[in-house]
Structure 1
């Protein structure tokens, strides 16, 4: 049996130390999007009680070589037996996932995130000084995978 509180504490401690990230987007056969490329950048982390705000900034290089600025704001929340990940697009955060421990170094979404006809799932792995967050997006026009590395 996994000690969920211990896993959450270990992850939370690691999340608070993040300063950099890399990001890879890929799509599979059947995807109608061109979301394919990679980026690497900085993360500014600020803390407010049981919340961590990630301000991500990077350059994203598409598969055709075109470079675009990339910015995201994510809010992590610590709950008793899981963590919550929200996207701060505007003033109100959008819940993406609640992630619960499934192993001593891994968490999985409690329920998939639904956005229109698309379904988002996620796995989070942490080991040493690195955190991996792997998203899968499936829908009528999407078959995508987003792979973050934080350290």
Structure 2
């Protein structure tokens, strides 16, 4: 692993510790049979447990029709030797989503897609000067969705 990749990993982990808020937009593309469209903005409580950075997200999601729903998610970020692992903590049990590997000084991409049933999840992460941008794509027989997260 080269110096730029190691520096990118260190910078990502340092920035994850500083996150306090997030927003996301959910949209669906051609062929999607879901109504997963809307936006949310909320808070992130960040804690550290050993090599893990834990995110507890709380927000209010507003769908395309204006309906509001409380939203809570817990994620675990872990610095590994040559990637950062992102897991979803469901009932405190980790579900591996992605190993994000540096592809540029400020950009990361999933090492391999996450498969959930017939759906395939992919992700890209970009470090901007004032935020972290995480873009998920979910494709399957009934899905063609994009989740566009911003953390700051």
Q: TM-score, normalised by structure 2?
A: 0.97
Task: Judge conservation of contact 1:74–1:85 (CA < 8 Å) in 2.
Answer: yes
- Provide the aligned C-alpha RMSD in A: 0.9
How far did 1:129 drift? Answer: 2.2
Cα offsets for 1:74-114 (capped at 9, x unmatched): 00000111100000011310000000000000000000000
Q: Which runs of 5+ in 2 are unaligned?
A: none
CA distance in 2, matches of 1:91, 1:58: 19
CA distance in 2, matches of 1:83, 1:4: 11
How far did 1:48 drift? Answer: 1.1
State the partner residue of 1:141.
142
Kindly indicate whether residue 52 of structure 2 is the aligned counterpart of residue 51 of structure 1.
yes
- State the SS of the aligned residue for 1:61: strand
Cα offsets for 1:30-84 (capped at 9, x unmatched): 1010000000000000001210000000000000000100110000000111100
State the partner residue of 1:129.
130
State the partner residue of 2:82.
81
CA distance in 2, matches of 1:103, 1:2: 11
What are the equivalent positions in structure 2 for 1:16-31 lying under 5 Å apart?
A: 16-31=17-32
CA distance in 2, matches of 1:60, 1:89: 19
- State the SS of the aligned residue for 2:65: coil
- State the SS of the aligned residue for 1:31: coil
What are the equivalent positions in structure 2 for 1:53-72 lying under 5 Å apart?
A: 53-72=54-73
Segments of 4+ moved more than 6 angstroms: none
